Structure 1
Amino acid sequence: MRFRITFNTERGALRLPIHYNHLIQGAIYANLDRVTADFFHDRGFEFGKRRFKLFTFSRLMGEYHLDKESGEIVFIGGVRLIVSSPSHEFCSSLINCILGDGHIRLGSQQVEVVGIEAFEPTPTSDQVTLRVLSPVVTYSTMTRADGRKYTCYFQPGEQDFQSQVFENLKKKYEIIYGQPAPVAPMQLRPLGQPRMNLVMYENTVIKGYTCRLALSCPKELIKVGLDAGLGAKNSQGFGCVEMEEVVAC
């Protein structure tokens, strides 16, 4: 399930650092009940040696301009945010807390929630076009000859990007449904030139990509991607996507 949350700042403009993902993530955790927040923040869902938080969120959407002198992004008027998760507990807690308070705090600013829409995107085909709402991240940790580790990021159109997205979806599917993911041919290709996005998250630079994506795979896996996000670092505000239309891959 996903929510489209609309809010206005009580000061007439919402000023945030350009790299604001951590503020959105913090606001989400702050609007969950204590038990749910502790679980998603501290534990998540285990799969082997990895843990998955199974929620994602978009960039903020609305009219804005960049204040280069202050290093801030300034939103004017209504601002929209998409939050998505396959977890009923997460969704129920988030919606109840936000409705009960009526406000969200983003850093030092309090914004008024003026609308919440809940909807359940359900793919009806194995072939869809996806619009990327926050950069998709795929990467591997490599080791140099001298033993030092470094991160290698992949971009849409590369085989490693496609394979990592699908392996990630399969793991999420198994966590959610408790059984292996369906086996079928899969393809993921960019439509147009992908745009690289460098995002600073808590003193770490993360590289992700935005573009439209043509996705062909079992619709059950498409559903997982819509609910839990594509790629890695979803709970930090990466990999949120929405369906655009049915296409031939």
Structure 2
Amino acid sequence: MHICFSLRPEGSMEIPLQYNHIVQAAVYRSIDADLAAFLHDQGYQSGNRRFKLFAFSRLMGKFRIKPDKGTITFADEVKLVISSPVDEFCQSIANGILTKGRLRLGTAEAEVEKLVVRQYRVEDGRAVLRILSPVVLYSTLLKPDGRKYTCYFQPGEPDYDTLLESNLRKKYEALYGQAAPEGNVKVRRLGRGDMRLVNYKNTVIKGYTGVMELSGPTELLQMAVDAGLGSKNSQGFGCVEVVER
């Protein structure tokens, strides 16, 4: 399920340019306290992997960047999309934000003007997805001296489809407690995709935006639509929407 919030800043809303952690904190503040504690401390588990099973978009609207201050300012309507396959989470975030009537992002506040709920349904083992926040896929490797380093992958590279499929399978198993359906997930980038570098709590993360066509088991594609593509979804990466045929 996708929930699109339309926000109206009070005056102008100036926040840090690297704002993922600020939106993430606002999400946790807006949901039920017990659910927030469960997601933060435990989450949904598959093997040794834990998933929050929600994703959120970049803030969308007219903005002005002040490089010298490292801030971004929104003065007009701002849209934020939050998605999850977990009904309890979707109900909690919608009720929490609507009840307060405003959303606090760092030291700034915005009035909630409306929300729109959409349930995209994947059919025929195919989905065209527009990426609303950069998709991140990576592996942690070891250097010859034993130190770890992170290798990020981009669409079209040999390991990209395998990593994306593995991630979706683990999410499915974590949510439903059973093995995911058989079948491979294939990715095809449509048009140009752009690389984005995001600084999340002093860690630089590399992701990619654009439009992608996914094919494979319907259940896994549905998980991609609702829970997000790739890794670090709850940190503001991999939120997508379906491009209607």
TM-score bin (small chain): over 0.9
**Offset at residue 106 of structure 1 (A):** 0.2
**1:163 alignment partner in structure 2:** 162
**1:230 alignment partner in structure 2:** 229
| Mapped contact 1:194–1:211 kept (Cα < 8 A) | yes
Measured against aligned partners, the alpha-carbon deviations of 1:140-189 in whole angstroms (never above 9, x if no partner) come to 11111111110000001112111111111111112222322111243102
Distance (Å, rounded) in 2 between the aligned partners of 1:199 and 1:164: 21
Identity %: 49
| Mapped contact 2:137–2:154 kept (Cα < 8 A) | yes
TM-score, length basis structure 2: 0.96
Letter in structure 2 aligned against 1:244: V
| Mapped contact 1:105–1:111 kept (Cα < 8 A) | yes
Of the structure 1 ranges 68-77 and 48-57, higher mean CA displacement relative to structure 2 is found in 68-77
**2:8 alignment partner in structure 1:** 8
Letter in structure 2 aligned against 1:32: I
Distance (Å, rounded) in 2 between the aligned partners of 1:17 and 1:221: 35
User: How many positions carry a matched residue from both structures?
Assistant: 245
Letter in structure 1 aligned against 2:227: A
**1:217 alignment partner in structure 2:** 216
SS in 1 for 2:159: helix
Structure 2 alignment gaps of length 5 or more: none
| Mapped contact 1:130–1:241 kept (Cα < 8 A) | yes
Q: CA RMSD in A?
A: 1.2
| Mapped contact 1:155–1:194 kept (Cα < 8 A) | no
**Offset at residue 69 of structure 1 (A):** 2.3
Letter in structure 2 aligned against 1:184: G
Distance (Å, rounded) in 1 between the aligned partners of 2:184 and 2:243: 21
**Offset at residue 211 of structure 1 (A):** 1.5
SS in 2 for 1:61: coil
**Offset at residue 136 of structure 1 (A):** 0.4
**1:115 alignment partner in structure 2:** 114
Distance (Å, rounded) in 2 between the aligned partners of 1:235 and 1:145: 32
Letter in structure 1 aligned against 2:97: I
Measured against aligned partners, the alpha-carbon deviations of 1:188-219 in whole angstroms (never above 9, x if no partner) come to 02122321111000111111111111111122
Measured against aligned partners, the alpha-carbon deviations of 1:74-123 in whole angstroms (never above 9, x if no partner) come to 11210000000111221111111111110111000111111111121111
| Mapped contact 2:186–2:216 kept (Cα < 8 A) | yes
| Mapped contact 1:131–1:212 kept (Cα < 8 A) | yes
Letter in structure 2 aligned against 1:106: L
TM-score, length basis structure 1: 0.95
